[in-house]
Amino acid sequence: MTTTDAPPPADDLVIPERSRGTHRRRRIIVAAAVIVILATGGGVLAATLWHPSNPAPAASAPTPATAAVERRTIAAQQQVSGTLGYAGDLDVIGQLSGTITALPTPGTVVEPGGILYRVDDKPVVLLAGDTPAWRAFEWGTTGVDAQQLNAALVTLGYADGLDIDPECDQITWRSQQAIKRFQAAFGLRESGTLDFGQVVFLPSAVRVTATSATLGAPAVAGQTVIEGTSTTPQVEAEVPVSLLAHVKVGDAVAVTLPDLTTASGTVTDVGAVATQKESGSATVPVRAALTDPGTAAGLDQAPVLVAITTETVEDVLTVPVTALLALSGGEYAVEVIDTGGDSHLVTVELGLFDSAGGLVQVSGDGLRAGQRVVVPAA
């Protein structure tokens, strides 16, 4: 849990009655100090008062920039380093014998119904299914693999008009007619049976990361031909064991991408085995899926920051961190705009800092939601 220590005393300076312009000059310096402290993960809020030796005479100031005092829920977060890649290991194991005559290039995405590679110039085709094929397909073949083949033939359109039930777990005469159409589409002999290894079942499309075989080399049964992943972006972070109490499947996280934009995500997996780092700290792998996969377009193995929520407070008054003014004695205040346009300072006690939102929990006499407080001009 993130805690906020008492701020250190500021310079021993008594704040006399000042024009609004002077408040704003001090705020700019204070806000800058506050932001620097928050950005570096400091648990203590520190600010330095700007005390000009020759202050300019008071003058009429333009209408100040303001922000609303809001009642809301905020959260404290801690960032950990992570990597943006793709979920799952989807390796393609070859079963045909012959010579490798075509291989995909890394980065290629093969969808179900597409060609993974070729042996003796014959295509090995990807089909959707969770269970690997383990035999040839012929009339009467029965089992989960046969059901997956029937479903794939229906999905890809090879069974149109044949009245094949995609849940049927047997290769029937109708299935064989669909297989012949499949074979014709790929230039194979239209036998109505499929050799073991002619199709490969995997749960999803494959994004090729590497090839383990070599063009012109013998295709060996049981050999890994293609190494790949799914096409679903995934963030993986090594989370210190000390933070695991704050992380569970389904939690929301904020991911800072290399271009400094932020994407939302959801924790999908929390590892059970800790790894000891050289630094002596122990970490556990945590994986998260992005809410909008499109935000990861073009990124692979990219460094990211993952913000984990460590504490949340609900229904509290908040102001932007930049609205804070440092007073003598280590106290803080906000400059509240009155109904008539004048302003006055309200001393506030600080609570939780929401670094992601740039907000801070505050309480003070007379402070209420809906009031306007002065902030530095943009």
- Convert the pLDDT of each residue in 280-307 to its tens digit: 789 999 999 999 998 888 888 899 999 9
Structurally, the chain folds into a number of domains equal to 3
User: Could you tell me if 243 and 218 lie in one domain?
Assistant: no
281: CATH:
2.40.30.170
As a whole number, mean pLDDT of residues 142-163 equals 98
Place of tokens 């907000």: 359
pLDDT digits over 231-255, tens only? 999 999 999 998 998 999 999 999 9
User: Could you tell me if 132 and 175 lie in one domain?
Assistant: yes
Position 2 in a domain: no
Position 260 in a domain: yes
Euclidean distance between CA atoms 275 and 318, whole angstroms:
39
Contact between 122 and 96 (Cβ < 8 Å): yes
> Tokens standing for 101?
């005559």
Between 144-155 and 173-185, two packed helices, what is the crossing angle to 10 degrees?
60
For the chain, the straight-line distance linking the first and the last C-alpha, in angstroms and rounded, comes to 33
27: CATH:
2.40.420.20
Q: What is the mean pLDDT of the chain?
A: 86
Other beta carbons within 10 Å of 353? 25
User: Could you tell me if 204 and 130 lie in one domain?
Assistant: yes
Q: What is the pTM of this model?
A: 0.67
Residue-range definition of the domain harbouring residue 113: 92-229
> What does the CA dihedral 203, 204, 205, 207 come to, rounded to 10 degrees?
-80
Position 8 in a domain: no
User: Could you tell me if 300 and 326 lie in one domain?
Assistant: no
As a whole number, mean pLDDT of residues 128-139 equals 98
Contact between 290 and 49 (Cβ < 8 Å): no
Position 4 in a domain: no
Three-state SS at 46 = coil
Contact between 369 and 358 (Cβ < 8 Å): no
